[in-house]
């Protein structure tokens, strides 16, 4: 059955002899920490028994004396066990999930989870909310009225058993040490530490109880890491650490210098998801390409299919024969929303009432649409948030009528922007105009998947 597995109680002798100051000094001096020492730190962060100033000192010591791959795995495990841990051992199917480092228009997860579940694997997909120019899967799912992302543990288990897929948010009990340390990293200038990034990402996925994990590590203006080499290093660190934890893992390094697909927002990204799973792959070829590639790699690392080529063919077949859309429909119904979202998506996913059409000023080609600028324009329209307290306007966003490489004539609509407030529409439109570059020459096509790290 599904349950919460916590770290075993610490022996009295160990608790009495271990001190946080000694751990800080040990790491400051460049020495290797043990599993017990990382457990002490993680439990102290989760339970509040170690003060913030010592946790901050520990993070800075880790920043200046980077954790080794083995230490990163030990720290990840400690944070994962600082609270509850999902246990899907009674589910006999392979369990696989995916994590993206975030981007603009990256609504792949909503299509990916039900599609991969059609391949005979279980997909318990834990997701987060958007902040800044990057969107959040939970916000997009909640653009469907009554869709429940705060799913109780027992219901997650039941849905995985019956349906093979559930998309849900992180509970307070899952990797609580990471929540505390994540906020301190932001306040102490230690965000850029690669081992701490890896431990933060993987602790939540390791606590989720999956067997295998696909990482989508993006690069470009709209990504967490803009430089390809930085993304490559992060991808390699994620894969190697995941393997040390016993997870089957590979990473795709993907392009995020321009928005993915045609939709930026919440309801419109769900609309795009539904239309593509219903077979309209020409709607957004770049989105479809990445969807199939990620789905295929998830099936391969799960052990369900032997090679990527066969897995791609299977995933395309599941879309073509209607199984993928049917699985999405079932998931939506299981989690409280209306099947009309799939049956009549154009009517169900409505845009905000005000709109602005951004038109080409001259004949030529769309050379580039900057992802970060377009994403920030979406935030101004109301589709995103600058702080976690900001409200989301699910109907706000941008629809890209044209993409890079498309020919345009003067007056052609390149993008349509939506907002519920006139000022928001004006501000979003003013910023979006800075994202688009029109030129006389057709730009060279770009590869969505740059590399695969195994």
Q: Report how far residue 406's alpha carbon sits from residue 443's, in angstroms, rounded to the nearest whole number.
A: 9
Residue 135, CA distances (Å) to 22, 152, 259 in order: 41, 24, 11
DSSP letters for 315-362: HHHHHHTTHHHHHHHHHHHHTT--THHHHSHHHHSPPPSEEEEEE-SS
Which residue do the tokens 């990504």 mark? 223
Residue of 214, 211, 171, 203 lying closest to 91 (CA atoms): 211
Q: Report how far residue 239's alpha carbon sits from residue 125's, in angstroms, rounded to the nearest whole number.
A: 18
Catalytic residue (one of 81, 185, 250, 402) = 185
Q: Exposed, middle or buried: residue 406 (CB in 10 Å: 0-12, 13-18, 19+)?
A: middle
Q: Is 200 a catalytic residue?
A: yes
Catalytic residue (one of 56, 109, 200, 231) = 200
Catalytic residue (one of 95, 99, 129, 281) = 99
3-state secondary structure at position 266: coil
How many CB atoms within 10 Å of residue 49? 11
Task: Tally the residues of the chain.
Answer: 454
Q: Is 139 a catalytic residue?
A: no
Catalytic residue (one of 97, 106, 139, 178) = 178
Q: Measured between alpha carbons, how far apart are the two ends of the chain, in Å?
A: 32
**Angle, alpha carbons 350-352-358 (nearest 5°):** 110
Q: Is 406 a catalytic residue?
A: no
Catalytic residue (one of 77, 85, 179, 204) = 204
Q: Report how far residue 190's alpha carbon sits from residue 6's, in angstroms, rounded to the nearest whole number.
A: 28
**Cβ atoms of residues 349 and 341 within 8 Å:** yes
Instruction: List the catalytic residues.
Output: 99, 178, 185, 200, 204
């Amino acid at each position: 059955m599904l349950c919460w597995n916590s770290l075993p109680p610490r022996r009295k002798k160990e608790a009495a002899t271990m001190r946080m100051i000694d751990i800080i000094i040990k790491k400051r001096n460049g020495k290797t920490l043990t599993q017990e020492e990382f457990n002490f730190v993680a439990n102290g962060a989760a339970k509040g028994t170690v003060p913030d100033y010592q946790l901050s000192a520990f993070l800075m010591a880790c920043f200046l004396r980077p954790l080794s791959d083995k230490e990163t795995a030990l720290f990840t495990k400690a944070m994962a066990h600082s609270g509850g841990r999902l246990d899907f051992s009674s589910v006999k199917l392979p369990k696989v999930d995916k994590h993206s480092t975030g981007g603009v228009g990256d609504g792949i997860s909503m299509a990916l989870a039900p599609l991969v579940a059609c391949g005979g694997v279980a997909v318990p997909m834990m997701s987060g909310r958007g902040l800044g120019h990057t969107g959040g899967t939970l916000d997009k799912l909640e653009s469907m009225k009554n869709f429940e992302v705060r799913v109780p543990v027992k219901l997650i288990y039941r849905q995985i058993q019956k349906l093979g897929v559930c998309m849900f948010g992180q509970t307070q009990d899952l990797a609580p040490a990471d929540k505390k340390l994540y906020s301190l990293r932001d306040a102490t200038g230690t965000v850029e530490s690669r081992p701490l990034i890896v431990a933060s990402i993987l602790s939540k996925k390791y606590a989720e109880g999956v067997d295998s994990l696909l990482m989508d590590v993006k690069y470009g203006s709209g990504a967490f890491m803009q430089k390809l080499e930085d993304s490559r290093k992060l991808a390699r660190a994620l894969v190697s650490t995941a393997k040390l934890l016993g997870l089957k893992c590979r990473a795709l390094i993907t392009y995020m210098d321009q928005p993915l697909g045609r939709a930026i927002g919440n309801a419109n990204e769900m609309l795009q998801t539904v239309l593509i799973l219903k077979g309209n792959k020409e709607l957004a070829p770049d989105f479809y390409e990445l969807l199939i590639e990620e789905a295929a790699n998830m099936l391969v690392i799960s052990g369900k299919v032997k090679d990527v080529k066969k897995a791609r063919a299977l995933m395309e077949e599941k879309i073509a024969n209607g199984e993928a859309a049917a699985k999405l429909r079932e998931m939506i119904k299981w989690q409280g929303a209306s099947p009309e979202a799939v049956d009549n998506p154009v009517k169900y996913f409505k845009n905000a009432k005000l709109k602005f059409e951004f038109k080409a000023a001259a004949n030529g080609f769309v050379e580039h649409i900057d992802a970060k600028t377009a994403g920030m324009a979406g935030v101004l329209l109301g589709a995103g948030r600058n702080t976690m307290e900001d409200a989301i306007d699910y109907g706000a966003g941008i629809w890209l009528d044209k993409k890079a490489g498309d020919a345009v004539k003067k007056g052609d609509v390149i993008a349509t922007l939506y907002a519920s407030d006139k000022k928001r529409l004006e501000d979003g439109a003013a910023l979006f105009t800075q994202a688009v570059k029109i030129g006389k020459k057709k730009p060279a096509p770009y590869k969505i998947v740059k590399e695969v790290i195994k």
